[in-house]
Amino acid sequence: MNLVFLGPPGVGKGTQAATVAKELGLLHLATGDLLRGAIRAGTRTGLEAKGYMDAGRLVPDDVVNRLVRERLEQGDAARGVLFDGYPRTTPQAESLDATLKGMGRRIDGAYDLQAPDAVLVDRISGRRTCGKCQAAYHVKFAPSSRGEECGKCGGALVQRSDDKPETVKARLEVYRKETAGVGEHYRKSGTYALIDANRPIDAITADVLGRARRLQ
Ligand code: AMP
């Protein structure tokens, strides 16, 4: 089974995707994480992507599509994949369809998580990541047991540079202009479901898991 999580920045895609992928035994493939990993590793792709990410803009389709294709070639993708933060444009959705088709696979479900803008800004502004192990926290909704330090490894918690208020505004604008229409691609293939993400984390997880399990 292969699933796609759509939705604006801050809606909780990453949190939900991690839980749902684990429950269903899928590989959690988050393009944002792949790109941040490439930046940390100092690869050419990372260098190319950094300027776009810092400005809150989308990294060009060909760069992201290539990263995804390469990741799908690794053996652990064979059990099925949950795509998080990808596709973000219609050409990316078309590229993903073609890549999966070449592997005899398809997207079975596309879940579009939505919440009001005020909720998104609140969720983004409190988001923190461990600079060492990348564990994710939220100062209000999922605080670390060790305050400003990571509850898992003790590393310092930092705010993602693109989570600062001025970049968040740009990312929401980019979402509306370039990504919001991607849902239409999946409506056409009959795999689309709108998910109310303005609910407690567990209620959203149960909703998505219920829908995905009915596909199995
Ligand atoms: P995310 O972690 O999903 O919020 O992504 C962080 C940033 O990485 C985005 O603001 C984009 O600059 C870049 N990015 C992640 N996924 C994609 C994608 N599918 N297409 C283009 N840019 C992406």
Tens-place pLDDT, residues 97-142:
999 999 999 999 999 999 999 999 989 999 999 999 999 999 998 9
Q: Which atom of ligand 1 is nearest to the CA of 84?
A: 3
pLDDT at 28 over 90: yes
170 CA to centre of ligand 1 in angstroms: 12
pLDDT at residue 8 in the model: 97
Contact 72, 99 (CB under 8 A): yes
155 CA to centre of ligand 1 in angstroms: 24
pLDDT at 149 over 90: yes
Closest residue (by CA) to atom 2 of ligand 1?
32
Closest residue (by CA) to atom 14 of ligand 1?
32
Distances (CA, A) of 95 to 1, 68, 90, 106, 149: 18, 10, 9, 12, 40
Cβ contacts of residue 139 below 8 Å, gap of 6+?
126, 128
Q: Which atom of ligand 1 is nearest to the CA of 171?
A: 10
169 CA to centre of ligand 1 in angstroms: 14
CA nearest 188: which of 84, 110, 117? 110
The model's confidence at residue 176, banded by pLDDT at 50, 70 and 90, is very high
Q: What is the pLDDT of residues 73-103, one digit of tens each?
A: 999 999 999 999 999 999 999 999 999 999 9
What is the mean pLDDT of the segment spanning 204-210?
Answer: 98
172 CA to centre of ligand 1 in angstroms: 12
What is the mean pLDDT of the segment spanning 56-83?
Answer: 96
pLDDT at residue 165 in the model: 86
Q: Which atom of ligand 1 is nearest to the CA of 86?
A: 19
Ligand 1 pocket at CB < 6 A: 9, 31-32, 35, 52-53, 56-59, 64, 85-86, 88, 92, 162, 171
- Which residues are catalytically annotated? 13, 88, 127, 160, 171
When computed from its CA atoms, the radius of gyration of the chain, rounded to whole angstroms, is: 17
The model's confidence at residue 42, banded by pLDDT at 50, 70 and 90, is very high
Structural domains in the chain plus CATH codes: 2-115+173-213 (3.40.50.300)
pLDDT at residue 16 in the model: 96
